[in-house]
Amino acid sequence: MPPEDGSISGDSVERDVLAEHRRLETLFEEVLDSFHPEGEPDAARAALKELRAALETHFDQEDRLYYPAIWALRPDLKTELKGLVDAHDEFVAQLDHLEALLGRGKRGEARQATESLSSVFKSHEEAEEAVLATLDREFDTAR
Ligand SMILES: [Fe+2]
Ligand SMILES: [Fe+2]
């Protein structure tokens, strides 16, 4: 979570984003586990609901807090970060699709769609972490 005084630094953004990414990966795994053939439909819906809430909070922080703060300091990164922000809408659309599949009882298709979403999301995380690592190295050399 961001500090309460509203301050922001490259180190704290990288630490927070990486911690969130690892948590989101765990939640993706929990959703996949919940699609076990003998699993309860309610458990799958609950796991998906938790993942969605965590993803929406994460996207909101990146969209409105972290990335605008970075591109204010580093305008050269704005295009790349804006592309990552724009991708968030597609992830939300995919979550809608997943919920619709589950709502129709299509657990197998929902599992496949989750695996695919998880894989695309992992690439998204890696792209973000590569930008943040660059930022950190630059802060380090400036010290
Ligand atoms: Fe993101
Ligand atoms: Fe992220």
CATH number at residue 41: 1.20.120.10
Whether the per-residue pLDDT at 6 is higher than 80: the answer is no
Distance between CA atoms of residues 123 and 111, nearest Å: 19
Asked if pLDDT for residue 91 goes beyond 70, the answer is: yes
- Please indicate, yes or no, if residue 134 is contained in any of the structural domains: yes
CA distances from 66 to 12, 47, 120 (A): 10, 26, 21
User: Residues 72-80: what's their mean pLDDT?
Assistant: 93
Which amino acid would we find at residue 89? D
The Å distance, Cα 37 to ligand 2 centre, comes to 30
Report how far ligand 1's centroid is from the alpha carbon of 107 (Å): 26
Task: Please give the distance, rounded to the nearest whole angstrom, from the Cα atom of residue 44 to the centre of ligand 1.
Answer: 24
Q: Is residue 1 part of a domain?
A: no
pLDDT score for 71: 92
CA of 61 to the centre of ligand 2 (A): 9
The pLDDT of residue 5 is 53
Query: What is the number of domains present in the chain?
Result: 1
Q: Is the pTM of this model over 0.85?
A: yes
* C-alpha 121 to ligand 1 mean position (Å): 8
Q: How far is the CA of 88 from the centre of ligand 1 (A)?
A: 6
Residue 62 lies in a domain: yes
Q: Backbone phi, then psi, for 113, in 5-degree steps?
A: -65, -35
What ligand is nearest to the CA atom of residue 22? 2
- Average model confidence (pLDDT) for the chain? 89
Q: How many whole angstroms separate alpha carbon 21 and alpha carbon 58?
A: 9
What CA–CA distance (Å, rounded) separates 71 from 130? 15
- Dihedral sign for Cα 95, 101, 103, 107, please: negative
Domain that holds residue 22: 10-142
Tell me how far CA of residue 112 lies from CA of 69, 71, 99, 128, in angstroms.
36, 36, 13, 25
Neighbours of 56 (CB within 10 A): 14
Q: Give residue 36's pLDDT.
A: 84
Is 59 within a domain? yes
| pLDDT category of residue 18 using cuts at 50, 70 and 90 | very high
User: Nearest-CA neighbor of 22 among 131, 121, 134, 96?
Assistant: 121
pLDDT at 14: 87
